[in-house]
Structure 1
């Protein structure tokens, strides 16, 4: 049989019609980081005498998304765009015509006014489903902290164009000391500040984003990220999660992380169709794994029962850990499990040193204590070589507690 020499072609799919406007999805022949799917439609351009021109909204899926997931994201994106268009959004300038954002703010506008306009903008995006509750909540928190700092410094009426990276460092450093922020929290609010100034730069209110030049905290080697759970701590977390129906989805994800070392980002991509209920296996196809290699997991009785209870009656195309950590057509974000675990930790007053991802490291630590070989650790973690495993064990799985010598000659 001759092999087909047909080259992959780009695809165009009709999504929806609204007010006589058709919304379509364009999927390129080859999806890359710089050439991603987008939705397009024809709309009157108010800046060109209302002539009908093609508008587009990019970022619909990425290189690791399946065609099915891209189409689902496109449907959600179209619904959001329709809501925005109904509220006066101009797709050619990404501004709301009735808000007059581009006219109302200049490099001489006071910082307080810029913050208020940005919060209104984020509220619009939140109401239209473009950003989630947590993102919008964090935006409002950082604005509140920033305004308090501005009041302390007497900068409330200071012109937006005079702020630089030193101001950003001073603000974040001041709040870090005042509120005892950790490095991760510091970086989270720095990211929100970057979003704020990026918004202003987009509308040419400021020429540059000062946050880009500000200091970012290095958390790569923080021991807290990899703190090993004590056995009693593991038992406590399991007992609390197991007895709280509101955290059942997180309980299943935690078990999956501990038993199989399936990374959180990979769990967000799992769909019901990836479970073979007859063979009792879970298969991660290459496009859903971190290293782009297929991974097959043999489900033990405990994991099988948990998955069956969570997703046994769900549709094949649903994500296992979807909205609210339940089977859903909506895929959750990469940081969902970390945030959910943080709420769980707060509810039950669990030590902040215990992290969700550290369950993976704790599992490997106790495997080694029980006599597991480096090779079995390599297989479980899907490392590319024993050298990678050796480095991982040396840098991640040591409790760094000095024990006394075993000899008693003195």
Structure 2
């Protein structure tokens, strides 16, 4: 199928390349299936095919974009030049493929012998995606990918109040007949819900905070990763200018963008502009590395292309986006990071919704699966946790990186486009953060 897409992309390029200084054509054929279950019954099944061609051109300093579904391709040759004729016979659009996907039976999600009354909502997302990219700089590339992502949400009710627990799981590549039993993943979500129902910490605090594996990376992805996206980096805001000053980022910290991981949610052989996925160092030895770029950002701002042009589908322009954000393990015992030295410590198991203001560096995030370790060592679950602060001040308070390591899969939004991103890191401790629990 990728060969057929390449032929279509090349046909479109041949018809446009004489009318612009630069032309890029992206052809896509994607099938997405979502199966949602509730308490052992299928609640909804959604099947969404996406197929078409997206064209981006540069004429002088002006960029233009157009997207066409297969039935609209006849209008492409005259888009830039009404006098232009068709560039040869248009190849046929590839026929439908057979999806390699069998959803988990609804009953297999249920937790046997749970011991706690609960409700369980699950979502299983299957994506089969084939793309091809050609441009006037000589790019000619294609790839196909298959991903299954599962999300589990358990809810328990105590004294009329509802408490949630979440868990996620990812399968990339060919179907694995030995995949983990679904109810094992559901049991983790249930345990988080039960912990949340037992939470007994309320009020506002300033204490050391330890982010667990992958949660630590999610925090840094928001604080630093978005600032190092080429279009954001070019803004030179007060916060980004501050990041570039000597000593602004911890010398102990290394952060990379790595599209080559075999099990990352954001992994790819080529990005959505045909550039091979690779590894880009964002931070190392107390200094910023290169910003990640799309073709348009690299051409506009003189950056080195990094293969990070990503888009939701053919109807959108590719933007500089992370693939997988990775922090290598440190040397410290993860258990030692939780010691309070006279004060309590908050442990964050998962980072939730939130935002950072890239102009000022101010941030606010929700945190999930949290535990407060009291000064005398008791572990008390905490829920509805919010973290607020200044990014530059927070980075200066990093004081320990654990030797453990873990990963997670998230979806991240930018300019109304959602893409999948992998998060991989050890535990990381900060000496003081402001947080509250309800």
Q: TM tier, shorter chain?
A: under 0.3
The structure that is helix-richer by fraction is: 1
If asked which structure has higher relative contact order (CA below 8 Å, sep 6+), I would say: 2
The structure with more radius of gyration:
1
What TM-score, normalized by structure 1, do the two folds share?
0.27
What TM-score, normalized by structure 2, do the two folds share?
0.26
